[in-house]
Chains A and B, each alone.
Chain A
Amino acid sequence: MNKNWPLWEIFVRSKNGLEHRHFGSLHAADAEMALENARDVYTRRSEGVSIWVVESKYITASNPEHNGELFEPAQDKVYRHPTFYDLPDDVKHM
């Protein structure tokens, strides 16, 4: 039966003020069922206060074969991290 159900990606906000984070994926026939399934699979130990579901086919993912051109050029550009400044002692939490 579930062979025909599409896959959904589940995002859960664990408490107010935090962002929704990807929790996993599950099968469901429609959006309403995806929400109910997500509620039971991912929030039954009170992990969440809000759920987003999106059908997996609507996610556009980068291709691992392109990792070279996408991500490697950033590796030798340490100056893109803001680590070359002397911070005054009075500035905390940086």
Chain B
Amino acid sequence: MKTNLYNYILELGDNCLIAGQRLGELCGHGPSLETDIACTNISLDLFGQTRSYFQYAADVKGDNATEDSIAFLRYEQQYKNVLLVEQPNRDFAYTVARQYLFDVFHLLLLEKLQFSQDMTLSAIAKKSIKEVSYHVRFSGDWIKRLGDGTDESHEKMQAAINDLWTYTNELFEVTEAAKSLIDDGIAIDAATLKESYYEKVSALLEEATLTIPESKYFQKGGKSGVHTEHLGYLLADMQYMQRAYPNMTW
């Protein structure tokens, strides 16, 4: 099995899966009917992308792996998503801040991944770009609206950005798996996205009258399977049916 390729696909897919699961939690619980539908729509976009990645990962892995076994039957330390996307929905400001900070990175990544030498990854990226362009627009508009809204919404938006900022630097970490695939033009060197990422994010935060955090201390670990305490609860929720009723189908 091509271990590095498999791990790199998981790195891409797990971000979509966990971000999608977090947004999906708002189904029936969004702040209004309209935002509820919007968030779950984005969640479904991300699950669609996850399926494409995991179907490919299952092919690469062989050994009777399926997209479902990869999604539902791994242990916490085997998930390679960044810490950012597993952070909980403390309030709606957190939800859109987390989403925006991920969306900007996601779009920059896909814009490069569409030119990957790996035809499957390139095809998934091309298909996902339109969806993710909308995700950035949706979450970015909300940051502006809340940041430049009332005193209370400004305060909550700023608090969410301040808290989640510490997870942004991990996005640009290059894993061993990715490193081994960059020279062949298969994986993207995430470090090269960093400058334009902070430029874009800073410009939007300014427009939203928010302060760009100056924190120099950043959390990391997600990409190597060392997660915050929140992922375990998320997985317990997500994996419950497959664990309690193995092989059940709808």
Interface, chain A (partner B; CB < 8 A): 1-2, 5, 26-30, 32-33, 36-37, 40-41, 44
Contact = CB atoms under 8 A, between A and B. Distances in A.
A56 to B, nearest CB: 14
A87 to B, nearest CB: 49
B32 A1 contact: yes
Contacts of B173: none
Nearest to A42: B37
A6 to B, nearest CB: 12
B198 interface: no
Interface residues of B, number: 12
B41 interface: yes
A28 B34 contact: yes
Contacts of A1: 31-32
Given A32-B141, A33-B141, A33-B145, A41 B37 contact: yes
B141 A40 contact: no
Contact of B145 (A26, A29, A40, A44): A29
Interface of B: 31-35, 37-38, 41, 137-138, 141, 145
B145 A5 contact: no
A40 B32 contact: no
Contacts of B137: 36
Given A30-B145, A33-B141, A44 B34 contact: no
A41 B34 contact: yes
B74 to A, nearest CB: 30
Contacts of A32: 141
A1 to B, nearest CB: 5
A45 to B, nearest CB: 11
Given A29-B145, A30-B145, A36 B32 contact: no
30 contacts: A1-B31, A1-B32, A2-B31, A2-B32, A2-B33, A2-B34, A5-B32, A26-B33, A26-B34, A27-B32, A28-B34, A29-B145, A30-B145, A32-B141, A33-B141, A33-B145, A36-B38, A36-B137, A36-B138, A36-B141, A37-B35, A37-B37, A37-B38, A40-B38, A40-B41, A41-B33, A41-B34, A41-B37, A44-B37, A44-B41
Contacts of B33: 2, 26-27, 41
B88 to A, nearest CB: 20
Nearest to B142: A33
A20 B180 CA distance: 53
A2 B145 CA distance: 14
Contacts of B38: 36-37, 40
A37 B37 CA distance: 8
B103 to A, nearest CB: 14
A35 to B, nearest CB: 10
A64 to B, nearest CB: 27
Given A26-B34, A28-B34, A29-B145, 20 more contacts: A1-B31, A1-B32, A2-B31, A2-B32, A26-B33, A27-B32, A33-B141, A33-B145, A36-B38, A36-B137, A36-B141, A37-B35, A37-B37, A37-B38, A40-B34, A40-B37, A40-B41, A41-B34, A44-B37, A44-B41
